[in-house]
Structure 1
Amino acid sequence: MKKIALFTSGGDAPGMNACIRSVVRSAIYLDLEVYGIKYGYDGMIRGEIQKMESYSVSNIVQTGGTILKSARSEDFRTKEGREKAYKNLKKHGIEGLIAIGGDGTFTGANLFYDEFGIPVVGAPGTIDNDLYGSDYTIGFDTAVNTALDAIDKIRDTAASHDRVFFIEVMGRHSGYIAIQSGIGGGAEMVMVPETSTTIDDVIKKLKDGRDNKKTSSIVVVAEGDEQGSALQIAERVKAETPKMDIRVTSLGHIQRGGGPTAFDRILASRLGLAAVEGLMNGEKNVMVGVIDNKITYTNLKLAISKSKPLNEELIRLTKILSI
């Protein structure tokens, strides 16, 4: 293998640039030519492929977002679009791909490999931490710390006015951000898609808190909770407890931005090198990850199809510490 290419796709995550930097410099160190594809699969179809040098990734390890950009591609969903992408890769002599992204990115990569046989190694870049095959994904730690910083600030104003705040964090199918930021922020309750919580449960928890002389409370809600959004949940609780002073804050896309934490920079750097070495060692159609602090390779089909359960110990810890 002499030429490889990399791209970022799907939602951006802090640390993607650190991973790009690692892939480019690792490839050059290992005597490979490395190309960057801008705008993900869409750029692959349009032929936005450029050779990258060591200086191309200078001064980016500390920055959020992705210098290669990201975009959704409807054309890549078609066989014609994927064939055009394949021809553009062959035009540049590219023999292997590194895809930095989440489940949508890897679903496309898996299909692309099945149809055209180009070896692909995925590096998990998503704040949701929802991919099977890695204890942590690039961007998750930063997103948790961003959410935690917001929760800390909101708690100050909640305490000043004796209010209940419902704080919505990202996680359509995963409660990882919610559970970790909730524990770190001392939330009275955390609502996640993986566990069932009723409105009556929420009301009882808040009333018990008042009985225990808590004057303010924080409820962290993952956006994919089965009871609905934080706003919908708050409205239902307010209808049953009209005397409670309730407010809602949705953190939204602020969780995707900002400079990555040291943990994410180091994780991204390790995964970038491991992705390059994986390609050179014959790995194909796999996701590189870290399990028990060791580099692992998991089949892409397994990474995107197998669910990654929440840590039961963390769920138990939330209940114990919120009394």
Structure 2
Amino acid sequence: MKNVNAIKELDSSDPLKLDNTKTILDSFRYVKGRRYHNLIDVTYLLPNDEKEAYRLKLQHNILKFVWKRIFSSPVHELLKAGGAKVLDVGCGTGLWLLDMAKEYPDSSFIGIDMSPIFPGVNHIPQNVAFLQHNLNNGLPFPNETFDFVFQGFLGNNVINKQWEYYTREMIRVTKPGGWVEIFDYDIDYQNSGPKFAEYMGLVQSGLEAKGINPQPETYVPQLLKNCQKLSEVYYEEENIPLGSRAGQLGEMVMAYCFMTFDAFKLLFTSAWGVSDEVFDTIYDCVRPEVDEFKIFLKTFRWYSKKI
């Protein structure tokens, strides 16, 4: 950690630009053994390979757990009634959509993402469709198309100036009487020990250097409240403990968190000048603090009905 602390200034360098062997016609680019998107104007810097797919599976299981705990009855009743059209913005591997489609077979679901990492056509039910699309170009749907528009876990990958545009687009394609929801988590883990907090402070500084605010609770509520096309904005949160003290869920959340740290490794080692050796020792520094300090992950959920 000492060498990590020696970094005095972080910049907005894009480590993906280190690989100039691929053309813009390629779907992916490969850096240090990991596969990434190949879109020049996108700030999303996490991989999209098989290892990342497993991390997203853990993310989905966490989301599913929270949704089972705090799922709002208005949206539930809307989907249960059937005939609803649902959009998942930044759907990744599409696991959330597949689960939702199974639970609500009489509604239809569409997922969009910039990377073509969706399930194969043979694994998609008839009420699900996927579309590769760059969100920076807006949502490719007419006004008032969907009854429910959902976005989850994108906060650490969207630069501040894009959030208002993304939110307006989500509301635009929502029908009057339909619902908009944003689900995310706080990168500032609660009850962090000194080394864990030190490391997360570095992550936060790096994201801020790239124009990303890693704390969605400081801007998402106001974005929604400022929109005159939405009614009351509802807010719910769920604290999920990390580590063995919380059983299988806690172990899963801890695995997800550390896989997320590893997914950011390219930023540390390429753009921010941390050696691979120093980065790898971070795990040894912060893992013991998970149980010692009873660290937990705070998740947020904001949803509102369009007028």
TM above 0.5, one fold?
Answer: no
Larger radius of gyration: 1
Normalising by structure 2, we get a TM-score of 0.32
